[in-house]
Structure 1
């Protein structure tokens, strides 16, 4: 791989972007991305030195960052042109008067690319620098920084049937505001998903361990990339504590998460209590989890390992839509609650279970309360 030549092309694309020639920068960066991707695949396939693979991925990441920034700029300008009536919105008859507008193809992107770039732009507005961090996290972990993974990592990918099967429904901040006001955790908390819970735990001063079955490219505030693992086969790094009457018990990091619903839910909760044994675990669950008797894992989690507290929301939480959903939003139809398990001084989850009714609006930050009351 002529990395010096490829690096020169990427630097040229960066200069063009900085000078405002966004279209040329995108084309150069896209070509460099494809070359670096091919070089990395070739090096991996033929077991080239690890330093060559890392170099190819770093160049691929640099090219992807410039290309993505260029696409975001073009899509933003396209949106502004549409609002001014200078770009065709499609359909018949023509929506631009006197033919003075331009088409998506003339802007240099397909309509799908513009749609995807708008989502990336929205993500950047919500969390400035998220694109660069997602790419850097992949490179630092020795993983390929691909276009597809970037869309998944930031949450702009359209969910396929397979992705819907991952049951990723990001936790709404209203639920987390209530939990953090009602419960405190150990300094380190284990979480999973794309980062909705992670960011709020970190903002509250906790260090977070993250892992998930799906590689979302989530990175902690300390720059640590999520682990990719199946929680149902995972084991924790356990600690030991002395019992009051002699002997020892083991425990793992605290857990706070919105677990995957569906067939794996009961096994997920039981595995956490049997194997990970957190001192405290908070799971956002359907209130119906309190019921049921024909599943051994459910009975274990509710009868043999009694939750200490169940915070049932009297007001339904805002709808948590499927990952990647960009359709019309609706209100929630599910009654949810935080189920909290807490280990006692004997290393047991003995309960008794106390049920507490709470209204999430009582725990909103002052800046958010007024908006939610409208």
Structure 2
């Protein structure tokens, strides 16, 4: 009988540690044999667990052990390829000619090394790929696990055969997770979604999202964990700080600026949850791995997908061009990740979403020549059905400055209720406005006698302004109570 013996989890772990120790000691033949058997056993355990619908934790543990066994097995083959080449260079093993070309006294065979000619070809291919990219094995295997895929020999062989950069780097190589967003993704988003005139890009990187937003007419507030010296078209430098430690508007009912960004995938769950909890944007678009739709163990993921779900998810039917990490100098890869724009919209009661999000399939190639929706409307468009006969030029009328002032008047007054001195930049950032709107609002407040200039050039509400703030605040509180917001939250 050749039935595979299925060991326990502890036995698999012990086998992996044994194989690793033998590899480090230079016993490649025995290390390879143990690693290969452990790979097959772990694969069987994972497959059996999936067939009987065991918990995800059981499957993931088996896949992890399969991955570790595959890494050791692959390293053994790389080392064996080096050993064979070294022996051939010394004349200790045949290069494929007649056996008598190798002396009997010093010669040895492939079998003695623990590899046959078919395996040697694959081993050399993998070895050459690893020479060009030393972290290839680890990255390919970890990328498969991260995407919920089985870490297989076939997948690793395919990557080595193409000798390309892989989907995911090690944590050390990823650094601050800067993977520039393809312009194709932004053209698609802007053709389908309109945001408030002022948009915040809190992970600006080198400006791959900022630039198309500005080209579409948006005023972009920018910040990032790392200071890369990025400057907006208005000459404003990026802010520097950890988004996960940032503070949003102090008033519970205040709406923060719209957010558009490609967050670091390593902290995507916490990033999205912090944005909704702390900053409460009117609209937020995040470019995420499509796997973000799944998952139930992470509390932040459940918060943003179950309790406050996105309104729409634009699934790219054609994979986006590869997002290589910043500073990558290796060969360029084709993308092997499915991505989507996740778009949240805030309801009047402060929550997000209404049931399961609408899943919209889009092909980014069809949106590369489509004009973006006009900024300031906060609307979205239905996906387009393309044909040669149709004209897809769309225009959304932009509101006048007077209309914007009227629309933002009450919200800006409420923002001033704590009577902290402010200027047009503080108002703009606090409420989420374009510079022209913020300046015009300050002029309107001053003309109506609602604010007065201080010696340092900043402004404070006057007595009349405080009275109007109280009136506007009372109206807003009444609206929230009618919307079902608990009293203690309204009074916070």
TM-score (norm 1): 0.51
- Aligned residue number for residue 348 of structure 2: 345
Q: Residues 130-169 of structure 1: matches in 2 within 5 Å?
A: 164-169=174-179
- Aligned residue number for residue 183 of structure 2: 173
RMSD: 2.0
Residue from 242, 249, 257 that aligns with 1:253: 257
- Aligned residue number for residue 232 of structure 2: 220
- Aligned residue number for residue 236 of structure 1: 248
Deviation at 1:236, TM superposition (A): 2.8
Residue from 326, 330, 344 that aligns with 1:327: 330
Please identify the structure whose Cα radius of gyration is greater: 2
d(CA) in 2 for partners of 1:236 and 1:162?
30
Runs of 4+ deviating beyond 6 Å: none
Deviation at 1:338, TM superposition (A): 0.2
Residue from 291, 295, 302 that aligns with 2:294: 291
Tell whether the 8 Å contact from 1:319 to 1:331 is kept in structure 2 after alignment: yes
Deviation at 1:349, TM superposition (A): 0.3
d(CA) in 1 for partners of 2:361 and 2:171?
36
Tell whether the 8 Å contact from 1:250 to 1:347 is kept in structure 2 after alignment: no
Alpha-carbon displacement from aligned partner over 1:266-313 (angstroms, at most 9, x marks no partner): 111100010011000000000000000000000001011110000000
TM-score (norm 2): 0.39
Tell whether the 8 Å contact from 1:215 to 1:228 is kept in structure 2 after alignment: yes
d(CA) in 2 for partners of 1:366 and 1:268?
30
Unaligned runs of 5+ residues in structure 1 are 1-158, 241-247, 368-374
Deviation at 1:348, TM superposition (A): 1.4
Tell whether the 8 Å contact from 2:249 to 2:278 is kept in structure 1 after alignment: no
d(CA) in 2 for partners of 1:273 and 1:175?
22
Unaligned runs of 5+ residues in structure 2 are 1-168, 372-492
d(CA) in 1 for partners of 2:370 and 2:282?
31
d(CA) in 2 for partners of 1:207 and 1:297?
30
Tell whether the 8 Å contact from 2:344 to 2:353 is kept in structure 1 after alignment: no
Q: Residues 45-194 of structure 1: matches in 2 within 5 Å?
A: 164-191=174-201, 192-194=204-206
SS at match of 1:282: strand
d(CA) in 1 for partners of 2:276 and 2:301?
11
d(CA) in 1 for partners of 2:370 and 2:309?
34
- Aligned residue number for residue 355 of structure 1: 359
Tell whether the 8 Å contact from 1:174 to 1:360 is kept in structure 2 after alignment: yes
d(CA) in 2 for partners of 1:306 and 1:335?
20
SS at match of 1:301: helix
- Aligned residue number for residue 309 of structure 2: 306
Deviation at 1:231, TM superposition (A): 0.3
d(CA) in 2 for partners of 1:202 and 1:236?
23
Tell whether the 8 Å contact from 2:213 to 2:220 is kept in structure 1 after alignment: yes
Taking a change above 3 Å as real, the CA distance of residues 291 and 160 of structure 1, as seen in their structure-2 partners, is: closer
Residue from 254, 267, 270 that aligns with 2:270: 267
d(CA) in 1 for partners of 2:354 and 2:261?
20
Deviation at 1:345, TM superposition (A): 2.2
- Aligned residue number for residue 364 of structure 1: 368
Taking a change above 3 Å as real, the CA distance of residues 331 and 180 of structure 1, as seen in their structure-2 partners, is: same
d(CA) in 2 for partners of 1:259 and 1:282?
10
Taking a change above 3 Å as real, the CA distance of residues 324 and 340 of structure 1, as seen in their structure-2 partners, is: same
- Aligned residue number for residue 411 of structure 2: none
d(CA) in 2 for partners of 1:336 and 1:271?
21
- Aligned residue number for residue 196 of structure 1: 208
Tell whether the 8 Å contact from 2:263 to 2:271 is kept in structure 1 after alignment: yes
d(CA) in 1 for partners of 2:237 and 2:365?
33
- Count of residues paired in the alignment: 200
d(CA) in 2 for partners of 1:274 and 1:281?
12
d(CA) in 2 for partners of 1:257 and 1:224?
18
